[in-house]
């Protein structure tokens, strides 16, 4: 499961880039809510998760595969995305450089 690989990485990156105010937001579209909440708690996710029951976010952002990560700058502009995983540390840093302050 991609989330098992990415959650520890996101936690690490949040800590590494805390001075930049990096934020992670999860979007739950395809999984049942309660098991997903338990999973997030078990893997110590510290970020908010938005529930997308009608898949409006999924359609708007054209999710084609999971995992699918967007790198959105402070102005709300999507600067980059990573489709598939697991995302390597180098992949993350390359994508993050496009939005870093």
Q: Show Cβ contacts of residue 16 under 8 Å, excluding neighbours closer than 6 positions.
A: none
Tens digits of residue pLDDT in 24-38? 999 998 889 999 999
Closest CA to 43 of 89, 12, 3: 3
Query: Given this structure, which CATH class describes domain 2-96?
Result: alpha beta
Half-sphere exposure of 57 (CA within 13 A, CB side): 14
Per-residue pLDDT of the chain (101 residues; tens, 9 = 90+): 678 888 899 999 999 999 999 999 999 988 899 999 999 999 999 999 999 999 999 999 989 888 889 999 999 999 999 988 778 999 999 999 999 98
Q: Is 21 left (phi over 0), alpha (psi -120 to 50) or beta?
A: left
In the chain, which residue ranges form alpha helices assigned H by DSSP? 2-16, 33-42, 56-60, 89-96
């Amino acid at each position: 499961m991609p989330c098992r690989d990415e959650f520890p990485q996101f936690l690490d990156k949040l800590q590494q880039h805390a001075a930049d105010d990096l934020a992670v937001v999860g979007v739950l579209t395809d999984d049942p809510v309660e098991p997903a909440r338990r999973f997030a708690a078990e893997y110590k996710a510290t970020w908010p998760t938005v529930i997308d029951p009608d898949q409006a976010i999924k359609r708007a952002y054209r999710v084609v595969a999971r995992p699918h990560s967007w790198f959105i700058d402070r102005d709300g502009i999507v600067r980059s995305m990573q489709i598939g995983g697991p995302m390597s540390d180098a992949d993350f840093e390359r994508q993050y450089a496009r939005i870093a302050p």
